[in-house]
Amino acid sequence: MTQIAIDRTTTPKQPPADETLAFGKVFTDHMFLMDYQEGKGWHDPRIVPYAPFTLDPACCVLHYGQAIFDGLKAFRGRDGRVRLFRLPDHARRLNRSAHYLCIPEIDPAMVEESIRALVEVDQRWVPSLPGTSLYIRPTVIATETFLGVHPSSSYLYYVILGPVGAYYKEGMNPVRILASDKHVRAVQGGLGAAKTAGNYAASLFGAEEAQKAGYTQVLWLDGVEHRYLDEVGTMNIMLKIDDEVITPPLNGAILAGITRDSVLTLLRDWGLRASERPIAIDEVIAAAQAGRLEMWGTGTAAVISPVGELGYKGERYVIGGGKTGALTQKLYDTIVGIQYGTAPDPHGWTRMLGNRLGG
Ligand code: COI
């Protein structure tokens, strides 16, 4: 693997106090960059001071959205050590997104190394207050200068980092979500399973309408019948009806969430029934009305986020008295315990910084 060149900043910034952290507003001192050119492949991996870069106005990512990203976190445990959560899985998912967008694959070992090396350089930025972490955003954009529609012949892979607090202003308090019977995020056969810019662009209009109606995010229904649950704005959706935990299957229209996978694994470890199956909105509403429903979202940014209210066709359904359910709380405590190193990590999901074999 090519050696990563490191150019350290001569003007390091002061990280903000942990108590002031929100999501995605502050960035660290350095970033990782690597270029791709057809015929030459990926080359010139380097860590440089964080700074804006210039793009030609005709650069194809700006017109046709050939862009992918991923999102993962580093946590500082009470022992002071920094842990990366499910790094190889995020590297693999970045390449799956690349495949959907006709972007050349990056050696997963290089993706892992780029992240590890950058976090090592900026590790003083990893916050330590419970609930805070260092958010890592690997991104690939198409950089060829042209206005015809075809896959670009050049790309930039970059990684930026930022210390973050809770994604929602509600923190770990239950959020309210609105099931949209009008807008659609993605359809099977489209790009719904890729972490690509366009999926988030497609979500904005519906999300704004939901916010105006007092909801935190949209619960997207399938693009054909507008009947089956797909996912929520920035998280996968899960629910428990009686003794069955249900989450929509990976049908090509939703993102293969890594927290989704962690939760399914934990539930099965605990001997609970966890089904990946289509679930219709009417089934969810009937369970809410009968008081048999617990609901939560899973995501890297959102972690485990309880859902306290569901809106649909002008009606509001309160779930579990608007309070965090017992299983939701247990999942949150367990995942967070693994991430901060206070709970056992039987699946080897965390990797210590400075210890390549993991911890
Ligand atoms: C994440 O959970 O990492 C995400 O990518 C959500 C993000 C779009 C805020």
**Could you tell which of 25, 220, 234 is best to mutate to test the pocket of ligand 1, judged by most ligand atoms within 8 Å of the CB?**
234
Q: Cβ neighbours of residue 94 under 8 Å, at least 6 residues apart?
A: 68, 69, 70, 106, 111, 138, 140, 195
**Once rounded to an integer, what is the mean pLDDT over residues 32-49?**
98
Spacing, Cα 334 to ligand 1 middle (Å): 20
The beta strand positions in the chain, using DSSP E, are 5-6, 30-37, 41-49, 67-69, 72-76, 82-85, 133-142, 154-164, 175-179, 217-221, 229-232, 236-241, 244-247, 273-276, 293-299, 303-312, 315-318, 350-352
- At 152, list the tokens: 């670009």
Distance CA 73, CA 92 (A): 15
| Confidence tier at 172 by pLDDT (50, 70, 90) | confident
Q: Which superfamily is assigned to 175-324 in CATH?
A: D-amino Acid Aminotransferase, subunit A, domain 2 (3.20.10.10)
Confirm if 281 and 246 have CB atoms less than 8 A apart: no
Atom of ligand 1 minimally distant from the CA of 257: 2
Atom of ligand 1 minimally distant from the CA of 137: 3
Partners of 177 in beta bridges:
217, 310
Q: Phi and psi at residue 190, in whole multiples of 5°?
A: -100, -145
Residue of the nearest CA to atom 3 in ligand 1? 71
What is the CATH number that goes with domain 5-165? 3.30.470.10
Spacing, Cα 136 to ligand 1 middle (Å): 10
Q: Is any atom of ligand 1 closer than 6 Å to the C-beta of 234?
A: yes
CATH 3.20.10.10 in the chain, residue ranges: 175-324
Atom of ligand 1 minimally distant from the CA of 300: 2
Q: Is any atom of ligand 1 closer than 6 Å to the C-beta of 95?
A: no
pTM: 0.95
Q: What is the pLDDT of residues 259-294, one digit of tens each?
A: 999 999 999 999 999 999 999 999 999 999 999 999
Spacing, Cα 201 to ligand 1 middle (Å): 13
CATH 3.30.470.10 in the chain, residue ranges: 5-165
Q: What is the pLDDT of residues 180-213, one digit of tens each?
A: 988 999 999 999 999 999 999 999 999 999 999 9
Confirm if 232 and 297 have CB atoms less than 8 A apart: yes
Residue of the nearest CA to atom 6 in ligand 1? 234
Look at residue 355 and tell me whether its pLDDT is greater than 80. no
Look at residue 353 and tell me whether its pLDDT is greater than 50. yes
Look at residue 359 and tell me whether its pLDDT is greater than 50. no
Spacing, Cα 323 to ligand 1 middle (Å): 24
The gap between the terminal CA atoms of the chain, to the nearest Å, is 23
